[in-house]
Structure 1
Protein backbone atom coordinates (compact mmCIF):
# COMPACT_ATOMS: atom_id res chain seq x y z
CA UNK A 1 0.00 0.00 0.00
CA UNK A 2 1.23 3.50 -0.83
CA UNK A 3 1.52 5.67 2.29
CA UNK A 4 1.39 9.43 1.62
CA UNK A 5 3.66 11.57 3.79
CA UNK A 6 3.47 15.36 3.54
CA UNK A 7 6.83 17.02 4.18
CA UNK A 8 6.17 20.77 3.79
CA UNK A 9 9.62 22.28 4.00
CA UNK A 10 11.40 25.20 2.34
CA UNK A 11 14.50 25.12 4.57
CA UNK A 12 16.96 24.08 1.87
CA UNK A 13 16.30 26.94 -0.55
CA UNK A 14 17.76 30.41 -0.89
CA UNK A 15 15.27 33.24 -0.33
CA UNK A 16 13.65 34.42 -3.59
CA UNK A 17 14.37 37.99 -2.50
CA UNK A 18 16.28 39.39 0.43
CA UNK A 19 14.29 38.67 3.60
CA UNK A 20 11.58 36.69 1.77
CA UNK A 21 10.54 33.06 2.09
CA UNK A 22 10.32 30.31 -0.61
CA UNK A 23 6.90 28.79 -1.19
CA UNK A 24 7.71 25.08 -1.56
CA UNK A 25 6.38 24.35 1.92
CA UNK A 26 2.91 25.00 0.49
CA UNK A 27 3.25 22.27 -2.16
CA UNK A 28 1.69 19.32 -0.31
CA UNK A 29 -1.50 21.25 0.43
CA UNK A 30 -1.64 22.74 -3.06
CA UNK A 31 -1.43 19.23 -4.51
CA UNK A 32 -4.02 18.03 -2.02
CA UNK A 33 -6.32 20.85 -3.16
CA UNK A 34 -6.21 19.71 -6.80
CA UNK A 35 -7.11 16.15 -5.80
CA UNK A 36 -3.81 14.25 -5.75
CA UNK A 37 -4.32 12.78 -2.27
CA UNK A 38 -8.01 12.06 -2.84
CA UNK A 39 -7.33 10.21 -6.07
CA UNK A 40 -4.46 8.15 -4.64
CA UNK A 41 -6.51 7.22 -1.57
CA UNK A 42 -9.39 6.17 -3.83
CA UNK A 43 -6.91 3.82 -5.50
CA UNK A 44 -5.92 2.22 -2.19
CA UNK A 45 -3.28 4.53 -0.70
CA UNK A 46 -3.39 5.77 2.88
CA UNK A 47 -2.56 9.15 4.39
CA UNK A 48 0.43 8.71 6.73
CA UNK A 49 0.33 12.29 8.00
CA UNK A 50 2.48 15.38 7.98
CA UNK A 51 6.04 16.02 9.15
CA UNK A 52 6.19 19.77 9.71
CA UNK A 53 9.43 21.68 9.41
CA UNK A 54 10.65 24.55 11.55
CA UNK A 55 10.38 28.20 10.60
CA UNK A 56 12.40 29.43 7.62
CA UNK A 57 14.91 32.16 8.47
CA UNK A 58 16.96 34.21 6.02
CA UNK A 59 20.14 33.79 8.07
CA UNK A 60 22.72 35.10 5.59
CA UNK A 61 23.81 37.83 8.00
CA UNK A 62 24.13 35.57 11.03
CA UNK A 63 25.11 32.13 9.73
CA UNK A 64 28.65 31.07 10.61
CA UNK A 65 31.04 29.75 7.97
CA UNK A 66 30.79 26.00 7.44
CA UNK A 67 27.04 25.83 7.94
CA UNK A 68 24.07 25.72 5.57
CA UNK A 69 20.89 27.78 5.71
CA UNK A 70 18.47 26.82 8.45
CA UNK A 71 20.77 24.00 9.51
CA UNK A 72 19.38 23.22 13.01
CA UNK A 73 15.77 23.19 11.80
CA UNK A 74 16.71 21.13 8.74
CA UNK A 75 18.52 18.49 10.79
CA UNK A 76 15.57 18.28 13.17
CA UNK A 77 13.16 17.87 10.26
CA UNK A 78 15.36 15.16 8.73
CA UNK A 79 15.40 13.23 12.00
CA UNK A 80 11.62 13.36 12.37
CA UNK A 81 11.02 12.50 8.72
CA UNK A 82 13.37 9.53 9.06
CA UNK A 83 11.39 8.32 12.06
CA UNK A 84 8.07 8.58 10.18
CA UNK A 85 9.52 6.76 7.17
CA UNK A 86 10.84 3.99 9.37
CA UNK A 87 7.34 3.42 10.77
CA UNK A 88 5.86 3.29 7.27
CA UNK A 89 8.50 0.92 5.95
CA UNK A 90 8.25 -1.32 9.02
CA UNK A 91 4.52 -1.61 8.32
CA UNK A 92 5.35 -2.95 4.85
CA UNK A 93 4.01 0.09 2.99
CA UNK A 94 5.49 2.09 0.11
CA UNK A 95 6.17 5.71 1.16
CA UNK A 96 5.39 8.57 -1.21
CA UNK A 97 6.85 11.76 0.28
CA UNK A 98 5.30 14.96 -1.04
CA UNK A 99 7.72 17.85 -0.38
CA UNK A 100 8.79 20.53 0.09
CA UNK A 101 12.26 21.18 -1.21
CA UNK A 102 14.74 18.40 -1.88
CA UNK A 103 16.44 18.67 1.50
CA UNK A 104 13.90 15.92 2.33
CA UNK A 105 16.47 13.55 0.80
CA UNK A 106 18.47 13.84 4.04
CA UNK A 107 15.73 12.32 6.19
CA UNK A 108 14.93 9.75 3.52
CA UNK A 109 18.56 8.73 3.32
CA UNK A 110 18.79 8.43 7.10
CA UNK A 111 15.80 6.09 7.24
CA UNK A 112 17.16 3.90 4.47
CA UNK A 113 20.68 3.87 5.93
CA UNK A 114 19.27 2.50 9.18
CA UNK A 115 17.78 -0.38 7.18
CA UNK A 116 21.09 -1.28 5.53
CA UNK A 117 20.94 1.09 2.58
CA UNK A 118 19.36 1.13 -0.87
CA UNK A 119 20.14 2.51 -4.29
CA UNK A 120 18.89 5.91 -5.41
CA UNK A 121 17.50 7.16 -8.72
CA UNK A 122 17.66 10.96 -8.63
CA UNK A 123 15.52 12.59 -11.36
CA UNK A 124 16.29 16.30 -11.30
CA UNK A 125 16.96 19.20 -13.64
CA UNK A 126 20.24 19.78 -11.76
CA UNK A 127 22.82 17.36 -10.41
CA UNK A 128 22.55 19.00 -6.96
CA UNK A 129 26.21 18.09 -6.58
CA UNK A 130 27.60 21.34 -5.20
CA UNK A 131 29.61 20.70 -2.02
CA UNK A 132 32.47 22.27 -0.02
CA UNK A 133 35.04 20.46 -2.14
CA UNK A 134 33.98 22.14 -5.39
CA UNK A 135 32.41 25.43 -4.28
CA UNK A 136 32.90 28.19 -1.74
CA UNK A 137 29.21 29.11 -2.05
CA UNK A 138 27.63 26.21 -0.17
CA UNK A 139 24.56 27.31 1.72
CA UNK A 140 21.38 25.85 0.20
CA UNK A 141 20.96 22.09 0.60
CA UNK A 142 18.30 22.02 -2.11
CA UNK A 143 21.17 22.48 -4.57
CA UNK A 144 23.52 20.23 -2.62
CA UNK A 145 21.34 17.33 -1.52
CA UNK A 146 22.79 14.65 -3.79
CA UNK A 147 26.34 15.52 -2.75
CA UNK A 148 25.26 15.37 0.90
CA UNK A 149 23.47 12.07 0.35
CA UNK A 150 26.69 10.40 -0.81
CA UNK A 151 28.85 11.89 1.94
CA UNK A 152 30.53 14.82 0.19
CA UNK A 153 29.14 17.65 2.33
CA UNK A 154 29.80 18.95 5.85
CA UNK A 155 29.07 16.21 8.41
CA UNK A 156 26.29 18.28 10.00
CA UNK A 157 24.11 17.44 6.98
CA UNK A 158 25.94 14.49 5.38
CA UNK A 159 26.36 12.39 8.54
CA UNK A 160 23.35 13.12 10.75
CA UNK A 161 23.28 10.72 13.72
CA UNK A 162 26.33 8.97 12.25
CA UNK A 163 24.26 7.47 9.40
CA UNK A 164 26.18 8.89 6.44
CA UNK A 165 26.85 8.36 3.67
CA UNK A 166 23.17 7.68 3.19
CA UNK A 167 23.61 6.04 -0.23
CA UNK A 168 26.41 4.03 -1.86
CA UNK A 169 27.75 6.21 -4.69
CA UNK A 170 27.98 3.29 -7.08
CA UNK A 171 24.27 2.54 -6.64
CA UNK A 172 23.22 6.13 -7.36
CA UNK A 173 21.75 7.18 -10.71
CA UNK A 174 21.13 10.79 -11.66
CA UNK A 175 18.88 11.68 -14.62
CA UNK A 176 17.93 15.05 -16.07
CA UNK A 177 20.56 17.78 -15.70
CA UNK A 178 21.07 20.35 -18.44
CA UNK A 179 24.19 20.77 -20.57
CA UNK A 180 25.48 23.74 -18.57
CA UNK A 181 25.38 22.01 -15.16
CA UNK A 182 28.65 22.97 -13.48
CA UNK A 183 28.96 19.83 -11.36
CA UNK A 184 27.98 17.26 -14.01
CA UNK A 185 31.54 16.18 -14.80
CA UNK A 186 32.31 15.43 -11.16
CA UNK A 187 28.98 13.69 -10.68
CA UNK A 188 29.67 11.50 -13.70
CA UNK A 189 33.07 10.52 -12.28
CA UNK A 190 31.63 9.80 -8.83
CA UNK A 191 28.23 8.16 -9.23
CA UNK A 192 27.16 4.87 -10.75
CA UNK A 193 25.34 6.44 -13.71
CA UNK A 194 24.64 10.01 -14.85
CA UNK A 195 22.27 10.75 -17.74
CA UNK A 196 21.65 14.29 -19.00
CA UNK A 197 18.21 15.48 -20.03
CA UNK A 198 19.33 15.53 -23.67
CA UNK A 199 20.45 11.91 -23.45
CA UNK A 200 17.27 10.88 -21.63
CA UNK A 201 15.21 12.47 -24.39
CA UNK A 202 17.24 10.75 -27.13
CA UNK A 203 16.87 7.30 -25.57
CA UNK A 204 13.64 5.42 -25.01
CA UNK A 205 12.17 5.37 -21.50
CA UNK A 206 12.75 1.61 -21.46
CA UNK A 207 16.46 2.09 -22.21
CA UNK A 208 16.87 4.70 -19.47
CA UNK A 209 14.85 2.64 -17.01
CA UNK A 210 16.75 -0.55 -17.72
CA UNK A 211 20.16 1.12 -17.34
CA UNK A 212 19.02 2.78 -14.11
CA UNK A 213 17.70 -0.44 -12.59
CA UNK A 214 20.95 -2.23 -13.44
CA UNK A 215 22.94 0.32 -11.42
CA UNK A 216 20.58 1.09 -8.52
CA UNK A 217 19.41 -2.53 -8.07
CA UNK A 218 15.95 -3.53 -6.90
CA UNK A 219 14.42 -1.61 -4.03
CA UNK A 220 15.96 1.80 -4.79
CA UNK A 221 14.51 5.13 -3.72
CA UNK A 222 13.07 7.34 -6.49
CA UNK A 223 13.55 11.10 -5.99
CA UNK A 224 11.72 13.38 -8.44
CA UNK A 225 12.38 17.09 -8.63
CA UNK A 226 9.79 18.67 -10.92
CA UNK A 227 12.34 21.10 -12.35
CA UNK A 228 13.42 18.18 -14.55
CA UNK A 229 10.57 19.41 -16.74
CA UNK A 230 11.35 22.09 -19.29
CA UNK A 231 10.92 25.66 -18.04
CA UNK A 232 8.26 26.32 -20.66
CA UNK A 233 6.18 23.52 -19.11
CA UNK A 234 6.99 23.93 -15.42
CA UNK A 235 7.98 27.49 -14.44
CA UNK A 236 6.69 27.11 -10.86
CA UNK A 237 10.08 26.09 -9.42
CA UNK A 238 12.94 28.11 -7.97
CA UNK A 239 15.36 27.42 -10.86
CA UNK A 240 13.49 26.74 -14.11
CA UNK A 241 15.74 25.92 -17.07
CA UNK A 242 15.19 25.17 -20.76
CA UNK A 243 16.17 21.84 -22.25
CA UNK A 244 14.15 19.64 -19.92
CA UNK A 245 11.71 16.80 -20.43
CA UNK A 246 8.11 17.28 -21.43
CA UNK A 247 5.25 15.81 -19.41
CA UNK A 248 4.86 12.73 -21.62
CA UNK A 249 8.56 11.96 -21.41
CA UNK A 250 8.65 12.33 -17.64
CA UNK A 251 5.49 10.28 -17.17
CA UNK A 252 6.88 7.47 -19.32
CA UNK A 253 10.21 7.55 -17.48
CA UNK A 254 8.52 7.38 -14.07
CA UNK A 255 6.35 4.50 -15.26
CA UNK A 256 9.57 2.61 -15.99
CA UNK A 257 11.21 3.46 -12.66
CA UNK A 258 8.30 3.33 -10.20
CA UNK A 259 7.65 -0.44 -10.06
CA UNK A 260 11.16 -1.20 -8.75
CA UNK A 261 11.19 1.58 -6.14
CA UNK A 262 10.86 1.04 -2.40
CA UNK A 263 9.43 4.55 -2.20
CA UNK A 264 9.46 7.94 -3.89
CA UNK A 265 9.63 11.65 -3.15
CA UNK A 266 8.48 14.69 -5.13
CA UNK A 267 10.01 18.11 -4.58
CA UNK A 268 10.48 21.78 -5.48
CA UNK A 269 7.04 22.66 -6.82
CA UNK A 270 6.32 26.20 -5.58
CA UNK A 271 2.63 27.20 -5.36
CA UNK A 272 3.60 30.86 -4.90
CA UNK A 273 4.54 30.75 -8.60
CA UNK A 274 1.26 29.09 -9.58
CA UNK A 275 -1.52 31.56 -8.74
CA UNK A 276 -4.28 29.80 -10.69
CA UNK A 277 -3.28 26.21 -9.82
CA UNK A 278 -2.61 25.06 -13.37
CA UNK A 279 0.86 23.72 -12.57
CA UNK A 280 -0.35 21.92 -9.46
CA UNK A 281 -2.82 20.07 -11.67
CA UNK A 282 -0.03 19.27 -14.14
CA UNK A 283 2.19 17.84 -11.37
CA UNK A 284 -0.68 15.81 -9.96
CA UNK A 285 -1.48 14.37 -13.39
CA UNK A 286 2.13 13.32 -14.02
CA UNK A 287 2.35 11.67 -10.60
CA UNK A 288 -0.97 9.84 -10.90
CA UNK A 289 0.00 8.39 -14.26
CA UNK A 290 3.73 7.93 -13.71
CA UNK A 291 3.64 6.46 -10.20
CA UNK A 292 0.55 4.27 -10.53
CA UNK A 293 2.70 1.12 -10.24
CA UNK A 294 4.97 2.39 -7.44
CA UNK A 295 6.62 -0.55 -5.67
CA UNK A 296 4.65 -3.19 -7.60
CA UNK A 297 7.74 -5.24 -8.59
CA UNK A 298 9.12 -5.64 -5.05
Structure 2
Protein backbone atom coordinates (compact mmCIF):
# COMPACT_ATOMS: atom_id res chain seq x y z
CA UNK A 1 0.00 0.00 0.00
CA UNK A 2 1.20 3.50 -0.73
CA UNK A 3 0.71 6.79 1.06
CA UNK A 4 1.01 10.32 -0.28
CA UNK A 5 2.89 12.93 1.76
CA UNK A 6 2.61 16.43 0.33
CA UNK A 7 5.60 18.56 1.31
CA UNK A 8 5.02 22.11 0.04
CA UNK A 9 8.38 23.66 0.82
CA UNK A 10 10.64 26.16 -0.93
CA UNK A 11 13.07 26.65 1.96
CA UNK A 12 16.10 25.27 0.12
CA UNK A 13 15.92 27.53 -2.94
CA UNK A 14 17.41 30.90 -3.77
CA UNK A 15 15.00 33.75 -4.56
CA UNK A 16 14.23 33.75 -8.30
CA UNK A 17 14.58 37.54 -8.24
CA UNK A 18 15.24 40.04 -5.42
CA UNK A 19 12.12 40.31 -3.32
CA UNK A 20 10.47 37.24 -4.88
CA UNK A 21 9.75 33.82 -3.40
CA UNK A 22 10.35 30.50 -5.24
CA UNK A 23 7.22 28.73 -6.45
CA UNK A 24 8.20 25.09 -5.84
CA UNK A 25 6.09 24.95 -2.69
CA UNK A 26 3.02 25.08 -4.92
CA UNK A 27 3.92 21.83 -6.71
CA UNK A 28 1.96 19.37 -4.53
CA UNK A 29 -1.22 21.37 -5.08
CA UNK A 30 -0.50 21.56 -8.82
CA UNK A 31 -0.09 17.77 -8.95
CA UNK A 32 -3.34 17.41 -7.02
CA UNK A 33 -5.08 19.68 -9.53
CA UNK A 34 -3.64 17.51 -12.32
CA UNK A 35 -5.48 14.53 -10.83
CA UNK A 36 -2.58 12.55 -9.37
CA UNK A 37 -3.92 12.22 -5.83
CA UNK A 38 -7.41 11.23 -6.94
CA UNK A 39 -6.02 8.62 -9.35
CA UNK A 40 -3.86 7.07 -6.64
CA UNK A 41 -6.67 7.08 -4.09
CA UNK A 42 -8.87 5.19 -6.54
CA UNK A 43 -6.21 2.48 -6.38
CA UNK A 44 -6.24 2.32 -2.58
CA UNK A 45 -3.55 4.85 -1.69
CA UNK A 46 -3.77 6.92 1.48
CA UNK A 47 -3.75 10.70 1.08
CA UNK A 48 -2.40 12.03 4.35
CA UNK A 49 -2.08 15.58 5.68
CA UNK A 50 0.77 17.71 4.33
CA UNK A 51 4.02 18.40 6.15
CA UNK A 52 4.04 22.18 6.06
CA UNK A 53 7.25 24.19 6.10
CA UNK A 54 8.11 27.38 7.93
CA UNK A 55 8.03 30.78 6.31
CA UNK A 56 10.59 31.48 3.59
CA UNK A 57 13.14 34.19 4.38
CA UNK A 58 15.49 35.28 1.58
CA UNK A 59 18.13 36.69 3.93
CA UNK A 60 21.11 34.60 4.98
CA UNK A 61 23.25 34.46 8.12
CA UNK A 62 27.03 33.85 7.96
CA UNK A 63 27.95 30.19 8.35
CA UNK A 64 24.43 28.99 7.56
CA UNK A 65 22.40 28.11 4.51
CA UNK A 66 19.28 30.11 3.76
CA UNK A 67 16.40 29.20 6.11
CA UNK A 68 18.64 26.76 8.00
CA UNK A 69 16.72 26.64 11.28
CA UNK A 70 13.41 26.19 9.48
CA UNK A 71 14.90 23.43 7.30
CA UNK A 72 16.11 21.49 10.35
CA UNK A 73 12.76 21.84 12.09
CA UNK A 74 10.95 20.75 8.96
CA UNK A 75 13.31 17.77 8.52
CA UNK A 76 12.38 16.48 11.96
CA UNK A 77 8.68 16.55 11.14
CA UNK A 78 9.09 14.98 7.72
CA UNK A 79 11.34 12.27 9.17
CA UNK A 80 8.62 11.41 11.67
CA UNK A 81 5.97 11.14 8.96
CA UNK A 82 8.15 8.96 6.73
CA UNK A 83 8.95 6.67 9.67
CA UNK A 84 5.28 6.39 10.66
CA UNK A 85 4.29 5.44 7.12
CA UNK A 86 6.99 2.78 6.92
CA UNK A 87 6.00 1.42 10.35
CA UNK A 88 2.47 0.93 9.01
CA UNK A 89 3.79 -1.03 6.06
CA UNK A 90 3.14 1.80 3.59
CA UNK A 91 5.47 3.04 0.90
CA UNK A 92 5.62 6.84 1.04
CA UNK A 93 5.44 9.04 -2.03
CA UNK A 94 6.82 12.39 -0.90
CA UNK A 95 5.73 15.21 -3.20
CA UNK A 96 7.84 18.36 -2.90
CA UNK A 97 8.64 21.11 -2.91
CA UNK A 98 12.34 21.64 -3.31
CA UNK A 99 14.91 18.94 -2.72
CA UNK A 100 15.74 20.00 0.82
CA UNK A 101 13.14 17.28 1.47
CA UNK A 102 16.00 14.78 1.15
CA UNK A 103 17.18 15.88 4.59
CA UNK A 104 13.98 14.79 6.31
CA UNK A 105 13.71 11.58 4.32
CA UNK A 106 17.33 10.68 5.05
CA UNK A 107 16.91 11.44 8.74
CA UNK A 108 13.85 9.20 8.95
CA UNK A 109 15.57 6.33 7.17
CA UNK A 110 18.84 6.61 9.10
CA UNK A 111 16.95 6.06 12.35
CA UNK A 112 15.68 2.73 10.97
CA UNK A 113 18.79 1.20 9.43
CA UNK A 114 21.12 1.34 6.45
CA UNK A 115 19.39 2.53 3.31
CA UNK A 116 20.71 3.27 -0.14
CA UNK A 117 19.74 6.21 -2.30
CA UNK A 118 19.06 6.53 -6.02
CA UNK A 119 19.44 10.27 -6.68
CA UNK A 120 18.00 11.23 -10.11
CA UNK A 121 18.71 14.91 -10.66
CA UNK A 122 19.92 17.29 -13.34
CA UNK A 123 22.65 18.38 -10.92
CA UNK A 124 24.87 16.50 -8.48
CA UNK A 125 23.73 18.83 -5.66
CA UNK A 126 27.19 18.28 -4.24
CA UNK A 127 28.14 21.80 -3.17
CA UNK A 128 29.30 21.91 0.46
CA UNK A 129 31.61 23.89 2.78
CA UNK A 130 34.64 21.98 1.55
CA UNK A 131 34.26 23.06 -2.06
CA UNK A 132 32.41 26.39 -1.81
CA UNK A 133 33.35 29.57 0.01
CA UNK A 134 29.77 30.16 1.10
CA UNK A 135 27.17 27.39 0.85
CA UNK A 136 23.86 29.09 0.41
CA UNK A 137 20.87 27.03 -0.70
CA UNK A 138 20.32 23.47 0.46
CA UNK A 139 18.47 22.57 -2.72
CA UNK A 140 21.84 22.65 -4.48
CA UNK A 141 23.62 20.95 -1.59
CA UNK A 142 21.20 18.26 -0.44
CA UNK A 143 23.17 15.23 -1.66
CA UNK A 144 26.41 16.46 -0.11
CA UNK A 145 24.50 17.06 3.12
CA UNK A 146 22.89 13.62 3.05
CA UNK A 147 26.29 11.88 2.81
CA UNK A 148 27.78 13.88 5.68
CA UNK A 149 29.76 16.65 3.95
CA UNK A 150 27.86 19.74 5.10
CA UNK A 151 27.63 21.82 8.27
CA UNK A 152 27.18 19.46 11.25
CA UNK A 153 23.93 21.24 12.13
CA UNK A 154 22.55 19.86 8.86
CA UNK A 155 24.54 16.67 8.24
CA UNK A 156 24.48 15.32 11.80
CA UNK A 157 20.98 16.00 13.07
CA UNK A 158 20.37 13.92 16.20
CA UNK A 159 23.79 12.32 15.62
CA UNK A 160 22.37 10.19 12.79
CA UNK A 161 24.56 11.39 9.93
CA UNK A 162 25.56 10.50 7.39
CA UNK A 163 21.98 9.66 6.50
CA UNK A 164 23.30 7.63 3.57
CA UNK A 165 26.82 6.22 3.37
CA UNK A 166 28.47 7.66 0.24
CA UNK A 167 29.12 4.19 -1.20
CA UNK A 168 25.39 3.45 -0.82
CA UNK A 169 24.40 6.28 -3.19
CA UNK A 170 24.07 6.25 -6.97
CA UNK A 171 23.49 9.54 -8.75
CA UNK A 172 22.18 9.76 -12.31
CA UNK A 173 21.24 12.63 -14.56
CA UNK A 174 23.74 15.44 -14.02
CA UNK A 175 25.15 17.31 -17.00
CA UNK A 176 28.73 16.84 -18.15
CA UNK A 177 29.67 20.39 -17.11
CA UNK A 178 28.44 19.99 -13.52
CA UNK A 179 30.96 21.77 -11.30
CA UNK A 180 31.12 18.91 -8.81
CA UNK A 181 30.89 15.91 -11.13
CA UNK A 182 34.45 14.72 -10.54
CA UNK A 183 34.14 14.96 -6.77
CA UNK A 184 30.83 13.10 -6.80
CA UNK A 185 32.38 10.34 -8.90
CA UNK A 186 35.19 10.01 -6.39
CA UNK A 187 32.88 9.88 -3.36
CA UNK A 188 29.70 8.06 -4.37
CA UNK A 189 29.01 4.44 -5.16
CA UNK A 190 28.22 5.25 -8.79
CA UNK A 191 27.54 8.26 -11.02
CA UNK A 192 25.82 8.13 -14.41
CA UNK A 193 25.69 11.44 -16.28
CA UNK A 194 22.72 12.35 -18.44
CA UNK A 195 24.84 11.99 -21.57
CA UNK A 196 25.81 8.44 -20.56
CA UNK A 197 22.19 7.65 -19.83
CA UNK A 198 21.00 8.94 -23.20
CA UNK A 199 23.81 7.18 -25.11
CA UNK A 200 23.13 3.79 -23.50
CA UNK A 201 19.70 3.76 -21.84
CA UNK A 202 19.58 0.02 -21.28
CA UNK A 203 23.10 -0.14 -19.82
CA UNK A 204 22.54 2.87 -17.57
CA UNK A 205 19.31 1.50 -16.15
CA UNK A 206 20.83 -1.94 -15.66
CA UNK A 207 23.72 -0.41 -13.73
CA UNK A 208 21.38 1.58 -11.48
CA UNK A 209 19.09 -1.37 -10.78
CA UNK A 210 22.04 -3.71 -10.14
CA UNK A 211 23.43 -1.25 -7.63
CA UNK A 212 20.19 -1.39 -5.61
CA UNK A 213 20.55 -5.17 -5.28
CA UNK A 214 23.79 -5.00 -3.30
CA UNK A 215 24.05 -6.84 0.01
CA UNK A 216 23.98 -4.98 3.31
CA UNK A 217 21.14 -2.55 2.63
CA UNK A 218 17.84 -2.54 4.47
CA UNK A 219 16.27 -0.95 1.40
CA UNK A 220 16.69 2.03 -0.87
CA UNK A 221 14.95 5.33 -1.57
CA UNK A 222 14.43 7.04 -4.92
CA UNK A 223 14.83 10.83 -5.07
CA UNK A 224 13.75 12.59 -8.28
CA UNK A 225 14.25 16.21 -9.21
CA UNK A 226 12.30 16.79 -12.40
CA UNK A 227 15.11 19.00 -13.72
CA UNK A 228 16.72 15.68 -14.66
CA UNK A 229 14.52 16.09 -17.73
CA UNK A 230 15.78 18.20 -20.60
CA UNK A 231 14.26 21.71 -20.65
CA UNK A 232 12.74 20.88 -24.04
CA UNK A 233 10.36 18.66 -22.06
CA UNK A 234 10.45 20.31 -18.62
CA UNK A 235 11.20 24.05 -18.52
CA UNK A 236 9.17 24.68 -15.34
CA UNK A 237 12.09 24.36 -12.92
CA UNK A 238 14.38 26.89 -11.25
CA UNK A 239 17.58 25.72 -13.00
CA UNK A 240 16.78 24.31 -16.45
CA UNK A 241 20.00 23.07 -18.05
CA UNK A 242 20.21 21.54 -21.53
CA UNK A 243 21.43 18.00 -22.01
CA UNK A 244 18.87 16.18 -19.88
CA UNK A 245 16.93 12.98 -20.42
CA UNK A 246 13.51 12.43 -21.96
CA UNK A 247 10.27 11.66 -20.09
CA UNK A 248 10.29 8.14 -21.54
CA UNK A 249 13.72 7.42 -20.04
CA UNK A 250 12.63 8.71 -16.64
CA UNK A 251 9.41 6.69 -16.81
CA UNK A 252 11.35 3.55 -17.65
CA UNK A 253 13.75 4.10 -14.76
CA UNK A 254 11.04 4.73 -12.18
CA UNK A 255 9.00 1.76 -13.36
CA UNK A 256 12.07 -0.41 -12.84
CA UNK A 257 12.96 1.02 -9.44
CA UNK A 258 9.63 1.58 -7.70
CA UNK A 259 8.55 -2.06 -7.19
CA UNK A 260 11.43 -2.62 -4.72
CA UNK A 261 11.92 0.90 -3.37
CA UNK A 262 11.10 1.84 0.22
CA UNK A 263 9.63 5.08 -1.12
CA UNK A 264 10.18 7.98 -3.46
CA UNK A 265 10.44 11.76 -3.48
CA UNK A 266 9.55 13.88 -6.51
CA UNK A 267 10.26 17.59 -6.48
CA UNK A 268 11.46 20.89 -7.94
CA UNK A 269 8.51 21.49 -10.30
CA UNK A 270 7.67 25.22 -10.17
CA UNK A 271 4.00 25.92 -10.98
CA UNK A 272 4.77 29.63 -11.28
CA UNK A 273 6.51 28.66 -14.54
CA UNK A 274 3.62 26.41 -15.60
CA UNK A 275 0.52 28.64 -15.69
CA UNK A 276 -1.65 26.23 -17.68
CA UNK A 277 -0.62 23.11 -15.73
CA UNK A 278 0.87 21.34 -18.73
CA UNK A 279 4.06 20.28 -16.99
CA UNK A 280 2.33 19.36 -13.75
CA UNK A 281 0.20 17.01 -15.82
CA UNK A 282 3.31 15.49 -17.37
CA UNK A 283 4.93 14.91 -13.98
CA UNK A 284 1.70 13.44 -12.59
CA UNK A 285 1.51 10.99 -15.50
CA UNK A 286 5.11 9.89 -15.06
CA UNK A 287 4.58 9.30 -11.34
CA UNK A 288 1.32 7.42 -11.84
CA UNK A 289 2.84 5.27 -14.54
CA UNK A 290 5.62 4.22 -12.18
CA UNK A 291 3.86 3.69 -8.86
CA UNK A 292 0.48 2.45 -10.04
CA UNK A 293 1.71 0.13 -12.76
CA UNK A 294 -0.03 2.02 -15.51
CA UNK A 295 3.00 2.23 -17.79
CA UNK A 296 4.84 5.30 -19.01
CA UNK A 297 2.76 8.43 -19.50
CA UNK A 298 -0.33 6.88 -17.98
CA UNK A 299 -3.61 8.28 -19.28
CA UNK A 300 -5.81 7.38 -16.32
CA UNK A 301 -5.63 10.68 -14.44
Does the pair score TM above 0.5? Answer: yes
Which residue in the other structure is 2:298 paired with?
A: none
Q: How far off is 1:269 after superposition? A: 0.3
2:80 & 2:114 partners in 1: Cα distance? Answer: 15
Provide the residue aligned with 1:37 in structure 2.
Answer: 37
Provide the residue aligned with 2:208 in structure 1. 212
Q: What residue in structure 2 maps to residue 203 of structure 1?
A: 200
Query: Which residue in 1 is equivalent to 2:252?
Result: 252
Q: Map 1:142-221 onto structure 2 (within 5 A).
A: 142-205=139-202, 207-217=203-213, 219-221=219-221
Write out per-residue CA displacement over residues 43-70 of structure 1, whole angstroms, 9 at most, x where no aligned residue: 221112210000000113xx1x210000
Question: Is residue 25 of structure 1 aligned with residue 25 of structure 2?
Answer: yes
SS of the residue 1:49 aligns to: coil
Q: Aligned residue for 2:102?
A: 105
Alpha-carbon distance between aligned partners in 2 of 1:227 and 1:156, rounded to the nearest angstrom: 27
Contact map agreement 1:8 1:99 (CA 8 A) in 2? yes
Q: Give the Cα separation in 1 of the matches to 2:252 and 2:120.
A: 13
Aligned residues: 290
Q: Deviations over 1:67-112 (max 9, x none)?
A: 0000111100000000111110000110000000000000000000
Match among 129, 149, 153 for residue 132 of structure 1: 129
Partner of 1:264: 264
**Would you say the 8 A contact 1:259–1:293 is kept in 2?**
no
Secondary structure of the residue that 2:262 maps to in structure 1? strand
Partner of 2:291: 291
State the partner residue of 1:121: 118
Unmatched 5+ residue regions in structure 1? none
Q: CA RMSD in A?
A: 1.3
In the TM superposition, residue 293 of structure 1 has moved relative to its aligned partner by 4.8
Say if 2:209 and 2:256, in contact at 8 Å, map to a contact too: no
Report if the CA contact (8 A) 1:10-1:100 is conserved: yes
Residue 299 of structure 2 corresponds to: none
In structure 1, the partner of 2:233 is 233
Residue of structure 2 aligned with 1:70, choices 67, 70, 85: 67
Does the Cα contact within 8 Å between 1:172 and 1:216 map onto a contact in 2? no
Give the conservation status (yes or no) of the 8 Å contact 2:23–2:272.
yes
Contact 2:201 2:249 in 1 (8 A): no
Moved more, 120-129 or 247-256: 247-256
- Residues 241-284 of structure 1: CA deviation (Å, up to 9, x unaligned): 11101111111111111122110000100001111111110111
Distance (whole Å) between structure 2 residues aligned to residue 104 and residue 204 of structure 1: 28
Q: Following TM superposition, by how much is the alpha carbon of 1:36 offset from its aligned partner in structure 2, in angstroms? A: 0.5
Aligned residues of 1:97 and 1:266 also touching (Cα < 8 A): yes
**After the TM superposition, which parts of structure 1 deviate over 3 Å for at least 4 consecutive aligned residues?**
none
1:278 corresponds to: 278
How far does residue 201 in structure 1 lie from its aligned partner after superposition?
1.1
Distance in 1, Cα, partners of 2:120 & 2:290:
13
